[in-house]
Structure formats: C-alpha cells, structure tokens
A and B are shown apart, each in its own frame.
Chain A
Amino acid sequence: MNLTRYQKPDLAWTDFARLSSLRAELDRLFESPWTELARTSQLFSGWTPALDVHEDKDNFVVRAELPGMKREDIEVSLHDGALSISGERRTEEKYEEAEVYRTERFFGKFQRTVTLPAPVAADQVKAQYKDGILTVTLPKTEEAKPKQIDVNVN
C-alpha cells in the first residue's frame, strides 16, 4: 500500500474569482436584468464574453467584449457557416505576490460560437480589435443578399 502525505488542495485563482463574482452577478441581476440575464450562466462555465450580432443588407456584424486582451491571444475562425471566437486571458505575473482585495475579472480560456443565419464570403471576413471590443464583419454571399425582382406585365 502506498501512503501519500496529505497535501493542501491548490486553490486556483479562478475559483476565487468565481466566488467573489457571485455577488457581482447578483448585483447585476437586480440592476439591469434584461441585458445581464444571459450572462449569469458564466458563473458555472468560466468566462463567457458577451456578444452582439447585427445584420444589415450586406453584412453580419458580430461584436464581442474582450477587455484587456492582447491581439495575438484572440483567435477568430469560420467553419461550416459558424463563427468561432476563442482565446485565453492570462493573469498578470506582476500581481502574483500582491495581496488580493477583489477579483471579479475572469481569466483563462473562452470560446464562443455563432451560427450565421445565411452563407458568408469567408475570404472577405474582417476582424478589428479596438477599446476592448472585437468587431467581426462578415459579408454575405451574393446569393444570400436580398434581391428585388421585377414583375413583368404582358
């Protein structure tokens, strides 16, 4: 029989972050229920960045809130008509020794996938990261754009 010495379980940063964010989640729930309700699920699944999807005549525009990231840590891909945004936010080493007062921010990996309602031109997709918001513009294919059809009268 093997005897292993009892070791204190390692409590990861992220666990603390989740605990302290419970309060934040409840606060938000009461403050702005309609916009925040969808995000409460992140309590159980790690980081789920919020996103918006817009559609106009020519494009779909997907916007995701990814504050405080490095551009190279964000990955955007398109597969089978579904847009995936993924990446990882790392904890900053300079605060590792510091005493922690509050940790409400999420760290770690995330992934979000949006199934687009119409085909898009994969080679013309553009992504921009500014002020902590990722904006992906996906032009519709010619077939997917609305067309006016003239009715001929004989």
Chain B
Amino acid sequence: MAAERADHLEFVVPVVNIFETPDGYALEAEMPGVSKDGLEITLEGDEITIIGRRTASPVSGELLFRECPTADYRRVFELDPAIDTNKISAKMEQGMLTLNLPKPEQVKPRRITVSD
C-alpha cells in the first residue's frame, strides 16, 4: 500500500476538457513543459493512458519561488466502447494535447429522409 502511494506521487494529474460532438469526442489536456517527444499515449482495451514527460530543461541557479510542479503528468480515461480506436489522433501544441476520438459511422446521428 505504501509503495503504491509513493508511486502515485511521481505524477501530477493534468487538467482536461472533454467535449462530445456528433462526430466524436475531443479531449484537451494541459501539460505545460511537455513537447511532442515527451508524450506517451497507450491504449489498452477501453482504457487510454496519457503520460507526459517534461522535456523543458531545468533553470540553473537558486530557486527563489516555486509553484510549478516538477513531476511528469499521467491520467487514465475509460473510453466509450463506441469509439473507433483505430482513428484516434493526437496533436500537441504549446503544452496542450488535443485528442480526437471519432465515432464510427454506424453510431453517428443520421437524418433519414421520408419517401412519399
């Protein structure tokens, strides 16, 4: 138990926004200090794990004031089973990860035209 707790402390939980559109889901996660190369996104069943390792070089000198956490980022999400996992795409821009999780064609809302 103690080991588990210590393990947990090595990460900070990135804040996220999640939206659903008719086409799929969009997830935005804030990971300042992480570049594209520091990202590690893994998919296991219906679970997606996002890990962001800080790539920014540390500042030399004496620390006068600290608010920014130094730990890496990690967060796990359970996905809607309807999501087409083969079509997930990710974009990293200024420390913000945007995941696009598209729904397959058959679950998208469709308008059915009524014939005469």
Contact = CB atoms under 8 A, between A and B. Distances in A.
Interface size class for chain B? 35 or more
A63 B20 contact: no
Contacts, number: 136
Contact of A99 (B15, B19, B34, B71): B19
B61 to A, nearest CB: 3
Interface string A54-69: 1111011101011111
Contacts of A31: 8-9, 12-13
A65 B33 contact: yes
Contacts of B67: 35, 38-39, 50-52
B68 to A, nearest CB: 5
A151 interface: no
Given A52-B63, A129-B94, A36 B32 contact: no
A99 B93 CA distance: 23
B82 to A, nearest CB: 14
